[in-house]
A = this chain, B = another copy of it.
């Protein structure tokens, strides 16, 4: 960064933190954000490093505060301690938020931070932003809004852009997802980002738990009269704001949407997802590469390899049938037996839903034959069931002991697994 610009922003930041910031806070904040917005990537990076180096807490001050607090813990020594430990950049961020558009600008700043890795000293800057955003984007400040065909186009355009599970194929596809009487879409918004969804979920209303995504998204399906629906299927959840990574809304969103839909449609009795299995393909490849290491017989893995190796294999019903039992046993193992170092399933989507208290309800193979679905999961999809009566217990067990709530059907596949290999 041209020394001038970095120095200029730093000076303004110090002014913002000083008494001048009290008199002219909005103006200074606006100026800082404006300079930052027009800076080059390198200049921004330099500024972020400066936040790490120059706007952190002072070790000596912390030491003194600790000595006083250690001697006697009083409200005053505690307050001094808290004040000494909080990095000044936290207050800086809060004051930058004085400017119109400040919240969006701070989210963009964190996007830059993540873009350059948020490594080393920058981790502290990132932690401060996350701490702040977690407080500001508190669930109590979020608003659930239905997304439908009466929603303004700029917001719908963002829905198209942010959808990350099953890509939206243009406006006609979007209309099919939000307009029909048996489709719903809900998003959380924050009052300071009125036109930016934070996270959204797409829901299909059906009369049974669906086993394949294609049936839900196809253009030539029958709309189901809402009087007949019994099941709400959450088939896509997408986070929209990179700048809010690790500030989590999904759990709240699903639960409030369950509430909303229950109120609107008392006939609903089942709330379930149709979810991708993004890690299954990779894991399976490793198993097939080294069946012995994974405890599978070569006979089984060779059969699987043969089928999956054929072109257009997912259209060959006979071949599919020949390995279905094995594939489901493998999937059951993937979900129930394979764990990360910290004892959780290796599938990120599974961690999310099981952590929310859902139950692994059903394994569906072949359920997603999109290129992505074939590539990442060999067509596997799963249903997680949100059963209000067991959500809390499932969650407690999962967090406490790592126990995974699974239906009998899924557990059976696992036993089958033991039998096969």
Contact = CB atoms under 8 A, between A and B. Distances in A.
A61 interface: no
A102 B23 contact: no
B150 A152 contact: yes
A150 B139 contact: no
Contacts of A49: none
A70 to B, nearest CB: 7
A251 interface: yes
Majority-rule SS of A interface residues: helix
A69 interface: yes
Contacts of A99: 140
Contact of A357 (B23, B124, B252): B23
A98 B75 CA distance: 27
Given A151-B153, A170-B171, A171-B171, A94 B23 contact: no
B85 A59 contact: no
Contacts of A357: 23
A148 to B, nearest CB: 8
Interface in A351-401: 355-357, 391-392, 395-396, 399-400
Contact of A20 (B23, B123, B396): B396
Contacts of A57: 78
Interface stretch (A4-12, A130-138, A205-213, A407-415): A130-138
A85 to B, nearest CB: 5
Interface string A62-89: 1100100110010110110110011100
Given A62-B69, A97-B140, A149-B153, 16 more contacts: A20-B396, A23-B396, A59-B70, A63-B66, A63-B70, A75-B120, A75-B124, A79-B127, A82-B86, A97-B141, A100-B140, A103-B140, A150-B152, A150-B195, A170-B171, A191-B192
